[in-house]
Amino acid sequence: MKHIRHILVAAVAALAAAAAAVVVLSMLVPADFGTHPPGWSYRQGSLKENAGAPPLAYAAEESCAQKSCHGGENPVARLNTTLRGGHKNIGCQACHGPGQAHVASGGAKDGPVIWKPETRVGAAEYDKLPKEEQQKIDDARAAFHVGFCMGCHQELAGKPASLPQVASFEKHRKQNGDGSEAGCTSCHSAHKPAM
């Protein structure tokens, strides 16, 4: 009986901590959380909130690999077997832009197109341009790729050593030998980046 006071103090402290936890959780967890069947981990109200959100711009990555795309010729299927290095794990839309509208149109030639990173116009649009216009776009290609590729490959201390990094691109700029600007894809294929 002599030590019952210590036990009571500990029990009251535990009950107070439990009550505080219940109060804090009731303030932090939304009331409509957990109203879905087991395994669902979002609020019921989020469905209504997201109903007014802008439509998704990105397609499922599998959409790019459909066998029926591109008139039966599927460059993506070939890429899946030829991509190598770190780019093998990067989705098509990371470089070619959002593809939801392109997929929704069934890849129609007059529909939304996936753009070539170096041109920022769709492949179909680029192919229709006069040669002089294509040349202007190609002239801007080197500078674009430097910025585009360096978005991932700029040397930073926190990046893993396995990721190829470039401290400065300046030494590569005049490697073509003809005075023209060299870009990353002057020497590296984006789909097969290893030299």
Q: In the 3-class helix/strand/coil scheme, how is 67-128 assigned residue by residue?
A: CCCHHHCCHHHHHHHHCCHHHHHCCHHHHHCCCHHHHHCCCCCCCCCCECCCCCCEHHHHHH
Pair 71, 46 in one domain: no
pLDDT of residue 58: 80
Pair 24, 71 in one domain: no
Pair 151, 193 in one domain: yes
Pair 190, 138 in one domain: yes
Q: Is the dihedral of CA 43, 48, 53, 55 positive or negative?
A: positive
Q: Yes or no: say if 116 and 125 are a contact pair by the CB < 8 Å rule.
A: no
pLDDT of residue 80: 54
The answer to the question of residue 180 being in a domain is: yes
Pair 96, 153 in one domain: no
Pair 64, 37 in one domain: no
Pair 45, 68 in one domain: no
The answer to the question of residue 163 being in a domain is: yes
Which range of residues forms the domain containing residue 27? Answer: 4-51
pLDDT of residue 100: 82
pLDDT of residue 67: 55
The answer to the question of residue 177 being in a domain is: yes
Instruction: Measure the CA–CA gap between 185 and 117, rounded to whole angstroms.
Output: 11
The answer to the question of residue 125 being in a domain is: no
Report the number of distinct structural domains present in the chain. 3
Q: Yes or no: say if 70 and 107 are a contact pair by the CB < 8 Å rule.
A: yes
Pair 135, 195 in one domain: yes
The answer to the question of residue 64 being in a domain is: yes
Mean pLDDT per 10-residue section of the chain, whose length is 195 residues: 82 96 90 75 77 78 64 52 62 77 76 63 72 73 71 85 79 61 73 66
pTM comes to 0.50
Q: What tens digit of pLDDT does each residue of 85-113 get? A: 667 677 777 777 788 888 888 777 677 76
The answer to the question of residue 126 being in a domain is: no
Pair 150, 106 in one domain: no
pLDDT of residue 29: 84
